[in-house]
Amino acid sequence: KMTQPMRGDQVHQPAAARKSASLSSPSAARRLYRNLSGKFRVGTNPPALEDSVVSARGGDKERLRKTTVNFQSNEALFEAVEHQELDLVQLLLAQYSLEELDLNTPNSEGLLPLDIAIMTNNVPMAKLLLRAGAKESPHFVSLEGRAVHLATLVQEAEQRVSELQAQVRSEGPSEREGSDQERQLKAWEWRLQLFRRMQTGFEHANPPDAPSVVRLSVSSNTSLQVDFHEPACVNSAVVTKYKVCWSAAPSFSPMLGEMTVNDAAEPQCNITGLTSGTHYYVQVSAYNMKGWSPPKVSTPACAAPSSWRDVDGHPPRQRGQKEALDQLLGQIKEAHRHCSCHEHCKAPTQGRKHSVSKSLRHLFQPTSKFVKSLKRGLYLTSIFYRDDNVLVTPEDQIPVVEIEDSYSSSLMQDFLWFTKVSYLWEEISWLQQCLSPSQSSCSCTLQTRLKMLQAVSQLQGMLGTQDLGQVYFEPIKDKHGNALLVLLKDMNACPNLDGVRWTQLCKLQLQRKSISSPEEPTALDTLLITLHEKLAYHRRSRKLLSPGLYLGYLKLCTSVEQIRVLVPQKLPNVLCHTKIRDNSNVSREEWQWLQALSSLDEALEMDQDVQSAPHRFLHDLRGAVKDLMAHINIPGNQAQDFRIYSQEVLEFGEKVSFLLLLPPSDEVCTAPGQNQPYSPRSGLLTLPLQIFELVHFNAYCPGFIGQYCRVSALLELESLMSQQALREAFSEAELLAAKKKHQQVQEQMQQMEEMWRDARWIMDALQYARYKQPTGGISISWIIDFSKEVLPDKPASTSSQPDFMPSPMPSPEPCRKHSASDYPGLSDEEGSSEVFLTTDSDYDSSRAQSPRELDLL
């Protein structure tokens, strides 16, 4: 026989016989749902299993408990599939793991849930099970084997029905009603009907047609990606897998390799280990229970693994830079290893190494002194949050400490340096030791930075933890002469903290509102009013794009003291963008074609050449340009002057890459007072250029930017101290030593700046975009026929706020912020916010209409 031995007391008992025969009635689903919760409670085991669980101990008891759960959930899954209860199967898959359901363990009849769904041609059920990872039974290695197995099941069920009919006929009328034999007979009759339906479904099915679409693209120097669609006709049997074959010859002889794709819900695969530059031909076949379809050749028919870098040998921007920064950091620290100022450096560091849950109890010690109200000066706060709850002091206030009683016009340079220091939280004591010889210095910058480190050390001690979080991208100022530096730390991923005080943010805001003056809010009031936005920004700034190739929009705004980058509010670590495709790689053929493009006729010719590699690339790029133009609200009559950046493909992390859309050279950087020919939709904000770079690299290259910020923060201090030593040198020996030290620091800074310049893709793109003679880039009028295409008009705004590019706030007074709900037509990448923009020390205020060369930034 083809069937497996039955389990335990299930001999001669089909699954349906273990339930009332009325399961086949229309109310079966309702009873299944009603009984589900009680059936799956651990305490409601079958008697034999219940006794085993009671008598077991320790690990055996837990193992038996799991066995019971698996037994019950697997039984219910089979019954739900057999009765075609799609909602119930969805519920089981959601509530139980594949291990608990035994999804791919055959039942006593040698069947799996997917087999039943396929052979009854229940397409929605089969696709649901396939998405969950279901497989076909290993018994069915051939068509003949499946046919024999089904015939055996039908024969056994017929025999069992015949035996039970004879038993029922031998009983008297009074004994027959509701007897065990009567219930078993109805259950077996229902099961015989199920097996016959499965047999009929198998006999009437045929192999599927070929996949309807097979697309071939280049995913790297050594791999190809194949995407395919389900056949237009599956011939009464769901497709369960695909076979991908490749060869160096169009005849597919010899075959170089093949791959089976068992996940029919994700019809794609990546062919790896190929030879760069060699053309490969690919074909795909689909499979159902009746066999394989004819193969479908890909479009284009062949492709060669390659990368855009193969065209001009462009090296990766950050190749070896982190290692060079590691070496530079080691040199800086080595110079301080034998300094007298670091003799007692290690002890405080070791004393800080204790658990967060214990150390945060320092927050509630009576000796802790936090600032309750701002008077005039520079302050520091750290916001620890978990969902909508914020860590507060015993006085229900956020922890704030004073840095100094005033701040200078160079606050933004100090702020940028402080942002870099946030990568050195564990070495604050070491930094203080570095600055200890300068405590009596007359340098205002050195004094301010020393006080910043002292405030950080104080806050670390009072909160009892070294990691104070990430710096918010702007200081908050008020009209009272206060400036507040804000640190944000998400505690959701941290262990539960004992003995600390949390309060709901809305409660904290109401409490502060009752005691603050609405006419002239302080920086602390402004922080609490806008804290929801700041927490949202902090969460979003760490989100990453899904893998793929994107089209980004490079747009900056300049003023006397500001250079800002336009970014989406809901993903502020990248430029405004739209997705071109899921494959992030740009092949050599695609890049060569794009760089050589010089007219619309060439693009129209490519539209007709479906077998050419750039054909699909052109189609996807054209769609992305239209989407992005509509998003940033560029009228069709002005869109023709926009260009595609053709110097490089920007690569962020492993699987995210960008092409850039550039405005006309005169509009790349909008100066103050310059007329804006178009207005982007709301949902965008502007970030200071240098802050944007730190936020961007922190998301996509955290190792590199962390090491750069450490080196930069230390070298800035070293430079200030060496300059101070030069000024204070008295004897010739002191002067020579000071000059030698200063020269060494300058050389190290030059090394660091060269590495940083190589990494700053936005500066290269910005300089290229602003060239006027000749104008660089690929005109989008060579990609889109504007005589036929009409870009979507700007939708009417549903907000009372005007649609314009955000400008810096004249004061920190609270104002209504746009939300995504204000603009129902916008995507999740959108929203709106006003932001403060940092001063850039390298910007020449005398050239407001034409900012100085940006490579100095």
Burial of 812 (0-12, 13-18, 19+ CB in 10 A): buried
User: What are the phi and psi torsion angles at 687 (to 5°)?
Assistant: -115, 145
Q: Which residues contact 416 (CB under 8 A, 6 or more apart)?
A: 690, 691, 838
Q: What does the mean pLDDT of the chain come to?
A: 80
pLDDT at 352: 44
Q: List pLDDT tens digits, range 295-318.
A: 999 999 999 999 999 998 888 887
pLDDT beyond 60 at 805:
no
pLDDT band with cut points at 50, 70 and 90 for residue 366: very low
Q: List pLDDT tens digits, range 226-276.
A: 999 999 888 888 999 999 999 999 999 999 999 999 888 788 999 999 999
Q: List pLDDT tens digits, range 687-715.
A: 999 999 999 999 999 999 999 999 999 99
pLDDT band with cut points at 50, 70 and 90 for residue 831: very low
Quick one: tokens of 704? 């590199």
Task: Give strand pairing partners of 488.
Answer: 383, 470
CA separation (Å) from 657 to 223, 540, 549, 629? 17, 19, 5, 19
CA separation (Å) from 831 to 417, 625, 827, 834? 29, 21, 9, 11
Q: List pLDDT tens digits, range 642-657.
A: 999 999 999 998 899 9
283 vs 522, more confident: 283
Q: Is 735 helix (H, G, I), strand (E, B) or coil?
A: helix
| CB-facing half-sphere around the CA of 364: CA atoms within 13 A | 14
Q: What is the pTM of this model?
A: 0.79
Mean pLDDT of 602-621: 93
End-to-end Cα separation, the chain, in angstroms: 80
Q: List pLDDT tens digits, range 22-81.
A: 333 334 444 444 454 443 333 334 443 344 434 444 555 455 445 555 667 788 899 999
pLDDT band with cut points at 50, 70 and 90 for residue 795: very low
Mean pLDDT of 408-432: 91
pLDDT beyond 80 at 327:
yes
Q: Are 97 and 77 in contact (CB under 8 A)?
A: no
pLDDT band with cut points at 50, 70 and 90 for residue 527: very high
pLDDT beyond 50 at 108:
yes
Q: Are 244 and 261 in contact (CB under 8 A)?
A: yes
pLDDT at 60: 53
Q: List pLDDT tens digits, range 78-94.
A: 999 999 999 999 999 99
pLDDT at 47: 40
pLDDT band with cut points at 50, 70 and 90 for residue 172: low
* Domains present along the chain, CATH in parentheses: 8-204 (no CATH), 214-305 (2.60.40.10), 354-540 (no CATH), 548-704+756-795+803-856 (no CATH)
- Pick from 33, 49, 113: which is nearest to 78 by CA? 113
pLDDT at 348: 43
Mean pLDDT of 509-528: 77
pLDDT band with cut points at 50, 70 and 90 for residue 443: confident
756 vs 169, more confident: 756
pLDDT at 608: 92
pLDDT at 498: 62
Quick one: tokens of 122? 């229940």
Element (H, E) at 435: helix 428-435
pLDDT at 640: 86
773 vs 564, more confident: 564
Instruction: Spell out a b/e string for 514-544, using b for 16 or more CB atoms within 10 Å of the CB, else e.
Output: eebeeeebbbbbbbbbbbebbbebbebbeee
pLDDT at 475: 92
Mean pLDDT of 517-532: 84
CA separation (Å) from 656 to 552, 582, 651? 12, 9, 6
pLDDT beyond 90 at 442:
no
pLDDT at 796: 41
Q: List pLDDT tens digits, range 472-507.
A: 998 999 888 899 999 999 988 776 666 678 888 888
